[in-house]
Structure 1
Amino acid sequence: MRSKTPRINRLTQIIRFFRVSRLLLWTIWVIYRERRRVVRARSRGNYEVQPNIEVLIRVLEAFRKAAIELGVLMIKLGQFFSSRADLLPEQALTVLADLQDEVPPAPFEHVVSVIEAELGKPVEEIFSVLERKCTAAASLGQVHKAVLASTGETVAVKVQRPHIAQLVSMDLSTLKFVIQVINRFVDTSDFIDLMGVYREFRRTVYEEIDYVTEATNAKRFREIFQHDPTIYIPRMHDEYISRRVLVMEWIDGIKINDYAALEAANINRLEVAKRTVNAYFHQFFEEGFFHADPHPGNIFVKKGAWSDGPVIAFVDFGMVGRLTKHMKRSLKEIFLGFVTRNSHAIVNALTSLGFIGDGANQAAIERGLSIMLEQYYGITLGEVRELDFPEVARELENLLYGQPFHIPAQFAFSGRAVGTLVGVSTGLAPDFNFLEVATPYARSFLGLDAEGITQTVQDVFTQLLDTSKVMLELPRSLERVITRIETGQLEVRLANIPGGHSRRSRGRRGNGGTTVVAASTNGSGSMLGGFMFVASLAGGIYLTGIHQAMPGWFCLGIAGITALATLLRR
């Protein structure tokens, strides 16, 4: 039996440490510096300031080149950054968007060595055939086609690349070191949660290099789609699964983006798009557990044994996303906030989900959301299809990149998955209506179907009540103040009013329990009217400033009525 792959020697580790440190330090610093400059400028109201795209692109192109050379974790980090619209503007993201696992396959001798070390048998006893040439090579592993000696079944054998555990540990330690160095000299918490990014990335990488976890994920997907003949998940071979080796059923199919082969097989491309997107919306809205890496190499199309169209087969379950009950509830609150055009409720839900960190300018974020709500609220499906999506993307970029947003890992994955799906479905069928397929799932998720409509109405009503609480409380507060004035418990004096007695304002407690607030004027009616006008005007300006439109306009209306009544009285 062959020995295990030897560890990386000390000198090689030191050289890699310095190369990775230099690459990460420069890349992360430039990303942070540009975002800090934009966020600070926009917090001062200067929305003309833009990040230096040329510098960002130059740095990211250098990162991409070095990442392909270094391999393993640097490629995964580039792919991770490519899904973070909170860290990079759209034009910079495109540099990393198509960063694939552009690495050559590991030697066949390594593949044999890992299989025998992990499964404890000579490779000839396990497989009657094991093809030397891999069918797919990635930064963390590669796949070989084989035939099981025991059953004659054709299988896919997934084997990790050399030194993966050691390289991942080394590069993660280097990434953490670089972040600690940056945080020692600069407080980045207001602009980028670098340690949060590190923790998210670390968790996802360790999940992806554990093939036992991947096999567990695949089994769960098989259960989810066991009654759906349009979706197929390959079967895992439990007796041949370890942390570094995974043996699964071989999928004979056409890559979802091989349009010529789909046409040659007489497969309906529009139906392929519909079934793929349907499968994902089922995962998002109903299961809360989804395949987080839907690039074309992980989705195949097969001709079904039945006469009702194509079968969509998924592979590679190392990256998955999860939506907890709390996350689903907060997402529902965001949808309902959109229905009621309540930007304050949306921001609260985003904060609850972890999108908005401490110290964020929530008023500025609410203003941005309010503008977008006014622009896109009530838009029809036909108008959606005619939207200039690059322009919408730029507006979202300004909202995300220009404010201290932090996208949690699960939502980075879901956003990346949705973006990939849109691209795949559009390529399959340019006339495919993405939103039309999503609508039934969204209605069910929001409780707009027959079973959940009562709860949804109640939730919307609660949102409206929350919005109007301030409006309802303000007149009561004013009434209590007026009552205290009329009963002599509170004396209000308006200084420097023509016709009144101007005197220095000061507060004191009289013998009879009367509170003196300001200077008196010539007549209780004028005094009350002036107080009502000033209080209502100030309240209206404040409330509209924080995007509480209904109570704000109510207060401004009171101010207008009070001013008109005062003029008519005179």
Structure 2
Amino acid sequence: MTFLRIYKILTVFRAYRLDELLPKHRTSTWFKLLLISLFWVRSKAKQQDIGERLRLALQELGPVWIKFGQMVSTRRDVLPKHLADALAKLQDQVASFDGQIARQIIESALGCSIDDYFTDFEEKPLASASIAQVHTATLKSSHAQVVIKVLRPNILPIIKSDIRLMYWAANQFTKRIKFGEKLRAVEIVSDYENTLLKELDLQKEAYNTARLRDNFINSEILYIPYVYQDLCRTNILVEERIYGTPIANIDELKRNSVNMKLLAERGVQAFFTQVFRDNFFHADMHPGNIFVDISEPQNPRYIGIDCAIVGVLTEDDQRYLAENFLAFFNQDYRRIAQIYIASGWVPETTDATALEMAMRSVCEPAFAKPLGEISFSQILLALFQVARQFEMDIQPQLTLLEKTLFYIEGLGRQLYPELDLWQTAKPFLEKWYEDKYSAKTLFQQVWTSLPEWKNILVDLPVRLGDQARMTKQMRNQLKQINQELQRSQKRYRWSLAILSLVCVLSIVTLLVH
């Protein structure tokens, strides 16, 4: 199946003539010959430009590739405009499947007619994406307007085929590239597989949505729609229908005099709040999943949907990341190097001075620019690349966070090109770190744990008595064992003496005779 999938990818690559995207000096001869050998593959979308052909190719290859295009489309600071514009259509303009099939899936999941729960079901989808599509309806019981998300039929085999291909590529990379094992490519694919498969369980998405909503109840930064968990199944999700302006519709936001600076800053605040305050963050914040409530243009609020992919960090991850970000904001390269070593991201034998100098060489040229022109996510990526020269182990648990940061900064710069991530993020991180690890917080933690210490102290004499009795019993047992060994040694010595005497008598008897 893997080789069949490779063949499919190559034929799509040739059909849409995507070799135009490859720098000519890097296109190897064998790859050109390989494409030429597929002479029977007919060209597609001949009249379209390369951006549109790339979008159609990713769409034809399926969900894994569509998601890749969605991620890349947010990086307008590094991607040509014509490619970014074309790939942006992958957010919610993926080809839909028949609405009648969607109706059948919903009725099968609920075990009854769709009319038992809903009225005004619209067979034409409101939006269609890589994994599922969305239909509108009205709840019969409350007349509330809702959307019903329906998984695409027969999607699992396609995803599993691509995942197998990714595992194959990761294994080849690990075996054939020097220090390839340090990149932990197989582990990263495994992490991506788990993430992608979670999107195929809409009941998990319902839980994630409800939890994120609880975290931002009455927030002026982010709104998460209400989910009707009793109507959700593995392949369908029912939630409140929201009305907002798509984040990608910059012209519409400007026409309504939305405060773009505040909106961009609130995106950064929402990200850091989820990562550090809640340790539960929406990890798929591409433009297709974000809308803006512009009912108060000078006080805009984000609306987040599609909460299938979420991220959670360990407490150590949170602390090291916060310290790393703060050291970076303060241009303390020595501290960054120490954090990388202390966290275990690089070997503990790493020369801290050499690592510091390497990181300084990456960061200082960037800091020479105006703050509004510095890409934080790009520099963070560059720091990871430097650390790999010092045998850094890729941390799969951080890949979702890296991707989300790319999304957030990319969106923020689209909304407000002068976005100063430093000014927005640094005060938040400083306050979070102070609140989390200040002397006052540590004292409060000790004070909170006093009832537990009280129970321990009350039980301490009993435990010490038990321990003393156990120690005495162990001493008695050891004494008995020692005495038994001494008796065994005496018996052994007498046995040896008797055996020796018998041997001597036997020899004497032989000599006499």
| TM bucket normalised to smaller | 0.5 to 0.7
- Cα pair 1:21 1:175 within 8 Å, conserved: no
The aligned residue for residue 313 of structure 1 is 303
Equivalence map 1:121-270=2 (5 Å): 121-180=112-171, 183=174, 189-190=180-181, 192-270=183-261
Change (3 A) 1:181 1:119: same
CA contact (8 A) 2:70 2:286 kept: no
Aligned to 2:422: 435
Are 1:343 and 1:369, in contact at CA under 8 Å, matched by a contact in 2? yes
- The one of 452, 455, 463 equivalent to 2:438 is 452
**Secondary structure in structure 1 of the residue aligned to 2:147:** strand
SS of structure 2 residue aligned to 1:243? coil
Alignment of 1:479-558 (within 5 A): none
1:331–1:260 distance in 2 versus 1, CA, 3 Å:
closer
Which of 346, 358, 362 does residue 336 from structure 2 map onto?
346
Return the structure number with greater helix share.
2
SS of 2:281's equivalent? strand
Distance of aligned partners of 1:354 and 1:236 in 2 relative to their CA distance in 1, 3 Å threshold: farther
Work out the CA distance in 2 between the residues paired with 1:53 and 1:405.
27
Aligned to 2:398: 411
Structure 1 counterpart of 2:398, which letter?
Answer: F
AA aligned opposite 1:302: D
Q: Shift of the alpha carbon at 1:327?
A: 0.5
| 1:420 maps onto 2:411 in alignment | no
How big is the shift at 1:315?
0.8
Aligned 8 A contact 1:78 1:96 in 2: no
2-structure distance, mates of 1:359, 1:79: 40
Q: In the TM superposition, what is the alpha-carbon distance from 1:344 to its structure 2 partner? A: 6.5
Deviation at 1:441, TM superposition (A): 0.8
Q: Deviations over 1:37-79 (max 9, x none)?
A: xxxxxxxxxxxxx997666999999997654322123333566
Q: Are the counterparts in 1 of residues 227 and 238 from structure 2 also a CA contact under 8 Å? A: yes
Find the aligned partners of 2:115 and 2:316 in 1 and give their Cα distance: 50
- Distance in 2, Cα, partners of 1:276 & 1:338: 20
The answer to which of 212-221 and 51-60 deviates more is 51-60
| TM-score under structure 2 length normalisation | 0.65
Q: Which amino acid aligns with 1:320?
A: V
Do the aligned residues in 1 keep the contact of 2:205 with 2:308 (CA within 8 Å)? yes
CA RMSD of aligned residues (A): 4.7
The one of 271, 289, 305 aligned to 1:298? 289
Distance 1:399 1:116, change over 3 A: same
Q: Which ranges in structure 1 are unaligned for 5 or more consecutive residues?
A: 1-12, 25-49, 85-89, 457-570
C-alpha distance in 2 between matches for 1:222 and 1:388: 30
Q: Cα gap change, 1:192/1:91 in structure 2, threshold over 3 Å: closer, same or farther?
A: farther
Name the CA distance, whole Å, in 1 between partners of 2:165 and 2:67. 15
- The 8 Å contact of residues 21 and 174 in structure 1, kept in 2 or not, is answered as no
In structure 2, stretches of 5+ residues that fail to align are 13-22, 36-49, 443-513
How do residues 316-335 of structure 1 correspond to structure 2 at under 5 angstroms? 316-335=306-325
Separation in structure 1 between the aligned mates of residue 122 and residue 98 of structure 2, nearest angstrom: 12
The CA distance in 1 between the partners of 2:268 and 2:361, in whole Å, is 30
> How far did 1:223 drift?
1.2
Please report how far the alpha carbon of residue 148 of structure 1 lies from its aligned counterpart in structure 2 after TM superposition: 1.8
Q: Deviations over 1:450-489 (max 9, x none)?
A: 9827899xxxxxxxxxxxxxxxxxxxxxxxxxxxxxxxxx
Q: SS at the partner of 1:239?
A: helix
- The residue aligned with 1:385 is 372
Q: Is the partner of 2:137 in helix, strand or coil?
A: strand
The TM-score with structure 1 as length reference comes to: 0.60
The residue identity in structure 1 corresponding to 2:167 is K
What amino acid does structure 2 have at the position aligned with 1:225? Answer: F
Q: Distance in 2 between matches of 1:72 and 1:308?
A: 37
Q: CA deviation at 1:82?
A: 9.0
What number of residue pairs does the alignment pair up? 411
Identity percentage of aligned residues: 25
Would you say the 8 A contact 1:298–1:316 is kept in 2? yes
Q: Distance in 2 between matches of 1:236 and 1:390?
A: 33
Q: Look up the equivalent residue of 2:229 and give its one-letter code.
A: D
Superposed displacement of residue 187, structure 1: 6.2
* 8 Å Cα contact 1:211-1:244 kept in structure 2: yes
In 2, distance between residues paired with 1:332 and 1:51? 42
Mapped partners of 1:55, 1:91: distance in 2? 23
Asked if residue 107 in structure 1 is aligned to residue 73 in structure 2, the reply is no
